[in-house]
Amino acid sequence: MSDFRFHVAIIMDGNGRWATRRGLPRVAGHKAGANAVRRTIEAAPGLGISVLTLYAFSEDNWSRPPREVSALMKLLGRYLVQETDRCIANGVRLQAIGRRDRLPAPLAGMLGEAERRTADGRRLLLRLAIDYSSRHAILDAARKASDNFTEDRFSSLIGPDVDLLIRTSGEQRLSDFLLWECAYAEMVFTPRLWPDFNSDDLAQAVAEFQRRERRFGAISATTDLRTA
């Protein structure tokens, strides 16, 4: 992978509303959401994205009805089985972030297996956040870093900074996702429900990112310093 990294993170939201609007059970929305995941992964490298982090299941999502939770776990497992070969063929390296110890054992096993089998992928690093809480990730990193607590060491334990954060479904909050890594992320909120999200939506979000000026606390590069 080149040194230039463009990290896009997506809060894939709106599956339930997508289904409810069609008079379908919520799980139908999650199934349709899996197709949007596939489309997004296919489109990402062509848009210059080298790291893609997708929020698939939050720690707080355990509080949903057991039937929905177990359907989501099954869908995740099925997705891994179906997609790992495609990931290998397309140079996609898969990594899971989040806790593994509470996942159904077969799913935890499948994640490890998919990570091993895709480890040589260099076109796209795909990070799937499952049973994920950013606050807990920060606490874990803090515990691990305690012997050498510098910002660099801490950041390396936490993961790459996010350049562009996208959330679908019109909600405008982080819901415990990548709190540290989003310190200077550009945020794009789209009303599109996740199952309807397509490569044009991704391209539009990237174009919006490119129109923004990131200043990281400094002043605009185009400011005339004589008048500043």
Residue 149 burial (CB count, 10 A): 11
CB of 55 or CB of 121, closer to ligand IPE: 55
Is residue 55 near ligand IPE by the rule CB under 6 A?
yes
Active site residue 61: yes
Residue of the chain from 8, 9, 12, 92 that contacts ligand IPE (CB under 6 A): 12
Q: How far apart are the C-alpha atoms of 52 and 41, rounded to whole Å?
A: 8
Which one is catalytic: 61, 140, 161, 198? 61
Instruction: Give the distance from CA 167 to its chain's centroid.
Output: 10
Contact region with ligand IPE (CB under 6 A), list: 141-149, 171-179, 181-189, 214-222: 171-179
x/- site string to Mg ion, residues 11 to 50, per CB under 5 A?
--x-------------------------------------
How many residues bind ligand IPE (CB under 6 A)? The answer is: 18
Residue 209 binding target from ligand IPE, Mg ion, none, CB below 5 to 8 Å by type: none
197 near ligand IPE (CB under 6 A): no
User: What does 95 interact with, of ligand IPE, Mg ion, none (CB < 5 to 8 A by kind)?
Assistant: none
166 binds ligand IPE (CB under 6 A): no
Whose Cβ is closer to Mg ion: residue 13's or residue 186's? 13
- Pairwise CA distance, residues 175 & 173, whole Å: 6
Question: Does 37 sit near ligand IPE (CB under 6 A)?
Answer: no
Verify whether residue 148 is a known catalytic residue. Answer: no
Minimum distance of Mg ion from residue 21's CB (angstroms): 14
Q: Taking a C-beta distance cutoff of 8 angstroms, is the pair 52, 40 a contact?
A: yes
Indicate which residues carry an active-site annotation: 13, 61
The residues that touch ligand IPE, with contacts defined as CB under 6 A, are: 11-17, 55-58, 61, 72, 169, 171, 173, 175, 194
